[in-house]
Each structure stands twice: as structure tokens, then as C-alpha cells.
Structure 1
Amino acid sequence: MLLLIALQCHAAQIKSVKAEAEVTPQQVELFAKYNVILNSDLEEALRNGLTLPFIYEFKLTKPRIYAWYRQVAEGFGPNAHLTLKLSYQPLTKQYRVATTSVTRHFNSLEEALSALGQLKNWSVLENSNIDAEDFAGRIRLRLDGSQLPKAYQLSNLGNANWQLESSWTDLLLRKPVDTEATQ
């Protein structure tokens, strides 16, 4: 029984803590928080130089006509993606979380995972003119195995230790921040 508890405590998982959207006439901004835990296989691969690609996925679920229109007109599909890469730098003994435009360094894996699990001001559906009352969407975070080197993709095919994703979480509406009221 203790062995089972010990194995469950160190199982890889991503759990949603918060998922919110702020809808304005110009865009939809997403905010989310996830608790990310890596298992020993993923931690070892990370320490041995493998970069772990994580992907935030957004799915527009309402208004459906608009989602369909965007898919046909722009190849948008009802989805948007944001990739973050988690890596370890052995010379500096620091962890790094990087997007295409920003790289942040952390002294511990816990700090890096905390930063990886926090999404702020992710802009999607720019110039969409969606009314807040008509909006609904979902979000999730997952390890993107398709971006791993081919050798890892093949050797870990079907390996549950390398399957890491949260469930889809419905976005709650957040009131836009009124900058004039705060001044």
C-alpha cells in the first residue's frame, strides 16, 4: 500500500487551478493556472539535456457559426496554440522556460514548473467582435510529444510516463479591467 502511495505521489500530472477569459471588442485574452508535476522519467530526460515542449491549446466552442467561419476563411479552426519549452542548462544549473519571444531562467525545477503553469494575457481571436455573452471556450496544457526528437517519439510510443496533459477546462468570463476606474 505504501508503495502505491509513493508511486502516485510522483506520478506526472497537470491539474487546472484556474481558467478565465476576458472578452473585449478587440480580442479575447486568456488567463490560466495549472499545477505541473513531472515524473522521474521526465525529470531525468530534462536533466540529461532534453527540451520538453509544452503546448497551451485553446478551443472556441461558442459562437459556433463564428468558429466555423474562421476555420473556413483563415484556416484558423476553432483552436489556437502557444508553445513553451522547458529545458535545463547544466553549466549554469538553471532551468529555462522559453516561448518564441521570451526566455526566463529559474534556479529550481519547482519555480520553472510554476512559471510554465501560469498563463497571462494570451491574446486570441483578435478583431473578432465577439460579445462576452456569446463567448465560450476551453483550454488545456499538455506535453507535446510530436515536438520531441524522433528517437524519443518512437521509443516512448504508448509509454504512459510520457503522456502528460490536463483535461479540457471551460473558461470562466472575467470582467475587463477598467483603467479609468483604477486611476
Structure 2
Amino acid sequence: MLRVLLSLFLCFTLAAHAQTDMLEQGERVVKVEPVVRDGKLYIDADLELAVTGDLRNAAQKGVPLYFTADLEIVSKRWWWFDKTVVNEQQTWRIVYNALTRQWRVGTGDLSLPESSLDDALSLVRNIRGWAVANVQDLEHDELYEGRIRVRLDTSLLARPFQVDAFNSSAWSLATPWKNFTFSISVDEPRH
């Protein structure tokens, strides 16, 4: 009896550790860096995002995948609701062309060729130089709070795939919100 209880306890402990490891290795934003350059605020972010199973198979058959980054930056106010300073989105489209056997990834009208799905996803996984605000619109030496996430945007899929996405957990790929804080400081001019 003691052996059975001990083995059950060991199984539950191992399952709990495995579940914790899966949560730590899942989709998440690893790092966010607000950067000021040329009078603009840019966001650089690195994330872990795995496209597997049914989603990868659909992409390899030419179904375009749309990934959207959502960014919110607020200024805290003690006397009223928080002031939303930035509320931006950026969407990437990843599609495979079976005729040319080439992956293409891009935002808006610009798309770049890539050799594999993982190479195409590297642009989504490593966001660089996303201009989100003018520095002149932000207060200096004020603490801003931001949050960012990246998700598979199923609303941009063709209708039959939207139904599949609604019924399948494979199509619900998203990172949790990642919070960050920053402030913009001005260097005093030297005389």
C-alpha cells in the first residue's frame, strides 16, 4: 500500500514538473526594449513562438498565417483613468508558394522571400525597429508602463479556416501579455 501511494505521489510530482516546464517553454515574450532614435520611440522585442502540428501543415499547403503584435503604453494618473499614449498593432503575413517553393513574409505591401517557415517566423520572433510614437509626444522623466503580446490573428484567415480555428486549439497560438516600464530622459546641454 505504501509503495502504491509513494508511486502515485511520484507520478503527480513528475507531472507537475512537466507541466511547469511546458509553461516555461511555451509561447512568450522574452525581452522588450524601448529605444529612442531619430526623435522616435522604437520597440525591439524577442519572443518564443512555435508553429507545430496542424498549423504547420496548413501553412505548408499554402494557407497564409497572420501574426499580429499588440502594443499598449499608458501613463499612470492618480486622479483619473490611466492615459493611453500608444495603442498600436503590426501584422505579418507568412505564406508558402508551392509553385516557386518559397516562403514569403511581410508587413503591408513589403514581403521578403525566405527559405523555410522557421526563417520566415524569425521576423515575427525578433521584432526590430517598430516605430510606435514620436518622442515629442511623450513627457520626459515620466514613468510609462507598457505591455506587448503576439498572437495568430485568425480574423484575417479565409472563412472556412476561421471556423476550423474556432474549433481547434492548434489555431489559438498567442503569447501572454509582457509588461515593461521605461522613461525618456533628456540629457542636460553642456556649457
What corresponds to 2:46 in structure 1?
33
Unpaired stretches in structure 1, ≥5 consecutive residues? 71-77, 179-183
Structure 2 Cα separation of the partners of residues 27 and 162 of structure 1 = 35
Work out whether 1:115 is the aligned partner of 2:123: yes
Q: What secondary structure is seen at the aligned counterpart in 2 of 1:92?
A: coil
CA contact (8 A) 1:13 1:164 kept: no
Structure 2 Cα separation of the partners of residues 42 and 83 of structure 1 = 18
What displacement does 1:105 show?
1.3
* TM-score with structure 1 setting the length: 0.75
What corresponds to 1:55 in structure 2?
68
Work out whether 1:80 is the aligned partner of 2:93: no
CA contact (8 A) 1:85 1:99 kept: yes
What corresponds to 2:138 in structure 1?
129
Structure 1 Cα separation of the partners of residues 37 and 145 of structure 2 = 13
Identity of aligned residues (%): 26
Work out whether 1:14 is the aligned partner of 2:22: no
What displacement does 1:69 show?
6.8
Which residue, 96, 105, 108 being the options, matches 1:97?
Answer: 105
Work out whether 1:139 is the aligned partner of 2:152: no
What displacement does 1:175 show?
8.3
Unpaired stretches in structure 2, ≥5 consecutive residues? 1-10
CA contact (8 A) 2:73 2:84 kept: no
* TM-score with structure 2 setting the length: 0.72
CA contact (8 A) 1:19 1:172 kept: no
Moved over 6 A (4+): none
RMSD after superposition: 3.2
Structure 1 Cα separation of the partners of residues 84 and 47 of structure 2 = 31
**Which structure has the bigger radius of gyration?**
2
What corresponds to 1:153 in structure 2?
162
* Higher RCO (C-alpha under 8 Å, 6+ residues apart): 1
